[in-house]
Amino acid sequence: MADAIIPKTIRKPASYFRMRRRAVRSLQVLALLLVLFYTLFPYYWAFVSSTKQGSALYQSALMPAFDFTYYRQLIDNPVFMGSLVNSAYVAVSTTFLSLVIGLSAAYALGRIDFPQRRTILMIVLMISIFPQVVVLSGMFELVNWMGLFNRPSALVITYLLSTVPFTTWILTTFIREFPRELEEAAIIDGCSHFRILTKVLLPLMGPSLASTGILAFILAWNEFLFALTFTLTDENRTVPVAIGLIAGNSRYEYPFGQIMAASVTVTLPLIIIVLIFQRRIVAGLTAGAIKG
């Protein structure tokens, strides 16, 4: 038999692998730059538009004019500043109540065994995906019956309908990741479920509470439909409704510059909050991704 001819493998030079790594790295950088441009350019364009006056608004210049007249008008406008205060009150109250209620429910659903636990979790998930229009008429009757119509407190009650299921579902996932040995040791020491939640688990849930609370705050800060329906007067409206009702000096004028200035002003608190809690948000979103 003729000897089998075994082809020799051709080894590629090291320069080939270096070039391939550089090409992959360049593509990754390019993809990152495209994502950053896609996400940040609208906000930059809003800032550029908010610093222009008159016909300059319709020019495609990418550099801002640094004319802050619209911002000074917003600061001098008591209606807009009052709407900022209303939005802060509603968003902070909604976030606090959502975390308190959601944390209690998440502990029960994540740690206490009872037959209907899976069913309740599915109901919570179904409630969180309901469109706002479906429950609008029912919430209107409830708010009217409670005597909260045209009050910011009505928005806190209605926003809990969407934020509590959301926080409950996310915090349940976080609580399930904690080892049960922590609770067993606390139970041996005589701790109740309330003390286990507040003294054992709560100090460990800082990142998860920060990430969930930020998302609930953004949801309450940006909500428009309920705020438009349940508030009538200017002194009780929130920022999204106040921006939507900004009008020009005449019926033929569209106040594009004022709206852009208001949008930039409203977005700044969210950016500041995210930057302050950036590390906790990242830690909370990645918790449980790697199991040791």
Kindly report, residue by residue over 164-209, the tens digit of the pLDDT.
988 988 888 888 888 878 777 888 888 887 888 888 888 888 888 8
| Segments of the chain with pLDDT less than 70 | 1-10, 248, 250, 280-292
What pLDDT is attached to residue 292? Answer: 40
The long-range contacts involving 158-161, CB below 8 angstroms and separated by at least 24 positions, are 158/226, 158/230, 159/90, 159/94, 159/219, 159/220, 159/223, 159/226, 160/94, 160/97, 160/98, 160/101, 161/127, 161/135
- Two structure tokens written together for 102: 């959601």
What pLDDT is attached to residue 95? Answer: 94
Give the 3-state secondary structure percentages of the chain, helix then strand then coil, rounded to 5. Answer: 75, 0, 25
- Two structure tokens written together for 106: 């998440």
What pLDDT is attached to residue 5? Answer: 55
CA 33 to chain centre: 23
| Beta strands per DSSP E along 75-230 | none
Q: What angle do CA 138, 157, 143 make, to 5 degrees?
A: 45
What pLDDT is attached to residue 52? Answer: 85
